[in-house]
Structure 1
């Protein structure tokens, strides 16, 4: 039996209220109506609360409780923690449809808000991309294991050679996204895979691609043909090198020729690379591939597998014309039957964490949209629940001192990496000079650098030879940053999409730490984005304005597994 105690305050217009003294509210499952029982002075009167009202209070309605000044707070870990404790929120708090959502960042456009902060705590202990976590998902995974239905790479039909390669890489089981994507691709379907960063999308397309190359051992029908059987397009040279390393690790004992070409190497080197015998798998950036196609260095006539990785960037205005020109040189299958036989067409894979509105329009020019199966993860466009995210309102003049203070504190943990994001190359260079003055060892990575130098810098950072990397958003798309523990947004990103990608550099599958994102909030337009992020976190909703990009792009082709 639950008892709540309340003392009625004296009321000047109703002195009789004071005669009641103290009341006890006692819940009763058998009462159908509230009753007040008058008793002598030695015993308090009793109010019996009906069961229906109790359930309403537990669901968070709380109107009757608020009327008498009581608060029913659900126990549990704090989701939102800030400088002002009255605005903290427990992870179990649920807002009604018409409830007003309190925001720490509500008044941050005022100059006096400097110094205020709040943190969104992580509510999960590992990336949600892994099947099973706490609570119901873990129980479901145990049920699957006991019934023999837990997904594995062997159950997905991959050849034994690839399974051995995965064992050497220390990968024992597929992520949720990998299970769904590999199963669809093994059935020769075209897919659009929309999943959060760090969920293992690279292996999702590489494994079935290589399985096809191994099992069929394709031979060119044209003796003079120079071109790949499989093609992976990525937006940057750094990502191309990374995907190539993963592919070569898988193909080390498979007798497959894996090559990569990217900007900055010169057309002579590209021609030499493409002339080294039959290429089974080519990883390339759009610009250099388009130049090679125009000069007849390469042909895509017998392409059997086409992957557009980080499609949200490839379909951006800076790449879309190049991409359309490349797609016009390919033949994409419109149904499963066209992926077999002598005149087979290419199977299409489109992957990304977000999608701009022109995806469906462009894809409709090369294939039947009805042939594309969309795989969409449940966590897409939500804040990552396993990553702690802190937001601090600072004056523009104080940002540098705040950054130096954070970096000097984190210098005590040299085993993990730190990414510091800026919105432009000039800020990266300026910060670099400041860190040099303070003897903080670091590297810089920005788009104005020569491509070969950029690749060398990121490789050095990955190997742990330097722990602080100052960078622009060139490092936020697709790169493997499992050793990164801290992401610092020195400049707050201009869009929510950019925030998702930057935050996705920590808490990745296979990483040793969950990681933390620290953001400095300065300008009014920064505050507007932070308010959307905070409201989404408190209400446990998708970030606003993101779902429209998916639905606009894939309205005609969504067929979730």
Structure 2
């Protein structure tokens, strides 16, 4: 286990060169986070790393800075490869590399599904220094894109390794490991240390330094966590009540299914709230478009599935609402990690119905604490019932209509219909909800 570097005050103290210290300052990074303070000195010494860190801990900087410093020392193309489990996370990682490397002419290529293959092949032909991708699409290019290989690669990063090791990626990861140079540095970052992560560690790391930047499954101290037991039939009412009570907040609402994100976004829009959905059913361009609207403040409520719970760089979320309780309690940690980042405070509220009680009990066991109840008078909440029920009925009708169009046309046209409808509802036809 690495020692705690309590004396570290700046990136310069860690051994980061002047050019990159300046890049950190331009990004507003004044002092290193715990994972950065502990990982960077070992990385600069040329060690392999295993970093266990909760979401929002600054781990991208922990691997990007040592790689960029090594690249400055020995400039060459195809220097590092970063593997990520989701498209969004891959894009975020590449953006951070490009921001840190903007002053040194860094070139990145992002290889993810849902984006034109030929465009990516052109980006690879421009000989990037860093390749960031999802395992399947990276393997696709290694097999089919003429002239592309990772023979010169000096660094491999496996980010969110616990998620990279599910059945979807395992075959592609094995194939990638079989074709990349053995003589390389490997950094493995994971929120949790599972049996599969240990197995991968033994297979591809050499005498790694293990850094644990957070106690197992902890949530940060600046996060105010609450729950509310609600009857399933009134769940939408409670959601609307909380969102109107805390109406100035930037909020992420987590649901279990992609269909639920669409329904809730429509329902909330019908009530005059600025909500937008993001889920795995949407194309890559749609997902990024929704995310950018949320980041820009055009919409202050993002309704999402767990595809958006990890790896998304959304710095200013005030509140997370678990509309559906996750059946895997570790997902709770990742969801609520979207708020109270980088020392800021945040709120997480979980709506628990009668069918989710067992899952909620598992969450309390995992985090090792009993949460206080969110205060609300049911009579006051149910004053909204009539309007919420009507908004839900209209939303279901609209989804039925657009769903038929989507099936007939295929692709994203049905989503576009809903987008147009959402846009038309944005503040035009509905009065803002007010407390009676």
TM-score (norm 2): 0.80
Describe the superposition over 1:91-149 as per-residue Cα deviations: whole angstroms up to 9, x where unpaired. xxxxxxxxxxxxxxxxxxxxxxxxxxxxxxxxxxxxxxxx9xxxxxxxxx9xx6xxxx4
Q: C-alpha offsets along residues 241-281 of structure 1, whole Å, 9 cap, x if unaligned?
A: 211221111111112222222211121111111111x2111
Distance in 2, matches of 1:257 and 1:236, equals 21
Name whichever structure is richer in helix by fraction: 2
Structure-1 residue corresponding to 2:315: 482
* Paired residue secondary structure (1:365): helix
Q: Structure 2 residue aligned with 1:199, among 45, 53, 57?
A: 57
Query: Aligned partners of 1:486 and 1:527: how far apart in 2?
Result: 22
Q: Does 1:454 align with 2:312?
A: no
1:453 deviates by 1.4
Cα deviation for residue 539 of structure 1 reads 6.1
Distance 1:350 1:163 in 2: 24
Residue equivalent to 2:216: 380
Unaligned runs of 5+ in 1: 1-130, 132-140, 221-227, 333-344, 541-561
One of 354, 359, 366 as aligned partner of 1:529: 359
What RMSD over aligned residues (CA atoms) do the two structures have, in Å? Answer: 2.0
The answer on whether the counterparts of 1:387 and 1:515 sit within 8 Å (CA) in structure 2 is yes
Write the deviation string for residues 379-421 of structure 1: whole angstroms up to 9, x where unpaired.
Answer: 331233220111111111010100111112222x1xx421010
- Counterparts in 2 of 1:325-364, with a 5 A limit? 325-332=175-182, 345-364=183-202
* Contact 2:325–2:360 (8 Å) recurs in 1: no
Task: Tell whether the 8 Å contact from 2:325 to 2:359 is kept in structure 1 after alignment.
Answer: no
Paired residue for 1:294, among 132, 143, 146? 143
Question: Match for residue 130 of structure 2?
Answer: 281
* Cα distance per residue 1:433-471 (max 9 Å; x no partner): 211321212111000111121112112211222101110
Deviation at 1:422, TM superposition (A): 0.4
> Following TM superposition, by how much is the alpha carbon of 1:537 offset from its aligned partner in structure 2, in angstroms?
5.5
1:266 aligned residue:
116
Q: Secondary structure of the equivalent of 1:263?
A: coil
CA contact (8 A) 1:315 1:356 kept: no
Is the CA contact 2:50–2:189 (under 8 Å) kept in the aligned structure 1?
yes
Q: What do the CA deviations read for 1:516-561 (whole angstroms, capped 9, x no partner)? A: 101011144x322322443566669xxxxxxxxxxxxxxxxxxxxx
Give the aligned partner of residue 49 of structure 1. none
Corresponding residue SS for 2:187: strand
Q: Distance in 2 between matches of 1:201 and 1:402?
A: 36
CA distance in 1, matches of 2:205, 2:25: 36
Confirm or deny that 1:406 pairs with 2:242. Answer: yes
Q: Distance in 1 between matches of 2:255 and 2:59?
A: 26
Distance 1:378 1:239 in 2: 21
After superposition, residues 408-447 of structure 1 pair within 5 angstroms as: 408-411=244-247, 413=248, 416-447=249-280
Q: Evaluate the alpha carbon distance shift between residue 305 and residue 439 of structure 1 in structure 2; reply closer, same or farther with a 3 A threshold.
A: same
Unaligned runs of 5+ in 2: 371-436
Alpha-carbon distance in 1 for matches of 2:31, 2:101 = 19
- Which residue does the alignment assign to 1:233? 83
CA contact (8 A) 1:316 1:356 kept: no
Contact 1:234 1:284 in 2 (8 A): yes
Pairs within 5 Å for 1:508-547: 508-509=341-342, 513-524=344-355, 526-535=356-365
Answer with 1 or 2: which has the greater Rg: 1
For residue 217 of structure 1, what is the aligned residue in structure 2?
75
Q: 1:331 to 1:417 in 2, by over 3 A?
A: same
Equivalent residue number for residue 332 of structure 2? 499
Task: Find the residue that maps to 2:298 and give its secondary structure.
Answer: coil
Distance 1:265 1:476 in 2: 22
Cα distance in 2 between the residues matched to 1:441 and 1:386 = 26
C-alpha distance in structure 2 between counterparts of 1:229 and 1:199, whole Å: 25
- In 2 relative to 1, CA 538–421 (structure 1 residues): closer, same or farther, beyond 3 Å? closer
Question: Tell me, what secondary structure is at the counterpart of 1:516?
Answer: strand
2:297 to 461, 464, 467: 464
Instruction: Choose between structure 1 and 2 for higher RCO, CA contacts under 8 A separated by at least 6 residues.
Output: 2
2:397 corresponding residue in structure 1: none
TM-score (norm 1): 0.62
For the residues of structure 2 that align with 1:308 and 1:403, how far apart are their CA atoms?
37
Contact 2:121 2:145 in 1 (8 A): no
Between the aligned partners of 1:535 and 1:446, the Cα distance in structure 2 is 29
2:25 to 167, 188, 191: 167
Q: What SS does the aligned partner of 2:102 have?
A: coil
Give the count of matched residue pairs: 366
